[in-house]
Amino acid sequence: MYSKDYQTYLESEPSEKDIPNNKKIITPSPQVVELQIGSKSVINFTSSNYLGFSNNQYFLKSIWKIESSYQVHKTNIYRSLEKKISDFLGMEDSIAYASIYDANGGVLDPLFTQDDAVIFDEQNHISDTIPSLGKSTCYHYKSKSLRDLENQLKKASSHNYRFKIIVTEGVFFMDGIMADLKGICDLAEKYNALVFVNDSEATGFIGKTGRGTHEYHGVMERVDIITSTFGKTFGWFTSGRKEIINLLRERSKPYIFSNSLSTAVADTSIQIIDMLSKDNLLSEKVMQNTVYFCKKIKEAGFDIIEGNSAIVSVMLYDSKLAQEFANELFYEGIYVTGFFHPVVPKGKARIRIQLSAAHTIEHLDKAVFSFSKVGKELGVI
């Protein structure tokens, strides 16, 4: 149920004053991370809204205008979006899907058979493994271990597979640590393998110009397939070599047998790509917030996983403690989620924080203060 004020806002008509000067970046409002849940006002630290575009006033109010503008020749906007994605990521071609789940699930199954080997990082997001991999031989390697990856590639290379493909996260969704894409690409070249990266936790704000982890690691021309979305806000896609994308258009079931993105989402995604191509202020803000929060939460005495993304895991180790800690933070006005086995390994329970360009210093200070208060009450610090 929407609040009365939000419902009134949704029902209001967009006006010209809501359309910004196209030379300026659309600044996310701090209010997008301030939620009303029941009678409780909380700051949201458990959303993948990295760029702060969720519930953005300009995009919400322009969606109605956009949808009515593309009743004819809708194909044009999708092809325009796919070209924008390809140009932004430095890939040859792209294909748009209705969800990132579809984008990940629509890659391996149509491309690889029993004659191929798929080499998985054991901590890949579950959506990376949705296809029936019974058709191909699957090798798992210890997460982020180049040594074990090479061992698995050696095993796969001892067989006469048609193709070998390494599948990894760009940023691992539960701990915020980047994969070593340069090391992975080096091994892929050594053992004649393809590289597939799910970059959903990075596109739009990781890398010098926000292109993602392949830009961050300097391997933009060495990754064969990327699936992602823009700051987990709009648009889902697979990008890659032209031959791969052509095959997906013909064989990828989630693409063929699902509805397309709405024209409003497609058009909004184009606007976001244009914006990110002109200015990296938002990506810089996300990372500035992350550096600030990490410094302050460590100074408060908490143990965190040292990552290099907008995800920060505050380690509590005990499952019951993680649940209790998250509940107590909610009553302090901080909305987070406790993660524990089987989502993470036993003994690795945590609170996962996701930073956004919409968070202010005041939001971050409030979070650190609340973490400290609850941490002392529960004997963590």
CA gap 275, 174 in Å, rounded: 28
CA gap 344, 323 in Å, rounded: 14
User: Strand, helix or coil at 302?
Assistant: coil
pLDDT digits (tens, 9 = 90+) for 291-325: 999 999 999 999 999 888 999 999 999 999 999 99
The residue written with tokens 């063929």 in the block is 256
The residue written with tokens 């994969």 in the block is 179
CA gap 205, 44 in Å, rounded: 19
Question: What is the percent of the chain with per-residue pLDDT over 90, rounded to a whole number?
Answer: 62
Maximal CA-CA distance, the chain: 64
The tokens for 50 are: 């990295």
Q: How many Cα neighbours within 13 Å face the side chain of 235? A: 29
The tokens for 46 are: 């458990």
pLDDT digits (tens, 9 = 90+) for 118-142: 999 998 986 665 444 547 788 999 9
pLDDT of residue 326: 98
pLDDT of residue 226: 97
Q: Of 112, 123, 17, nearest to 348 (Cα)?
A: 123
CA gap 192, 64 in Å, rounded: 48
Work out whether strand 225-230 and strand 194-198 pair parallel, antiparallel, or are unpaired.
Answer: parallel
What number is the average pLDDT over the span 102-110?
87
pLDDT digits (tens, 9 = 90+) for 2-60: 333 333 433 443 343 443 344 344 567 788 899 998 889 999 999 989 998 876 666 66
pLDDT of residue 84: 95
| Alpha carbon separation from 277 to 54, 118, 236 (Å, rounded) | 19, 34, 18
pLDDT digits (tens, 9 = 90+) for 323-352: 999 999 999 999 999 999 998 999 999 999
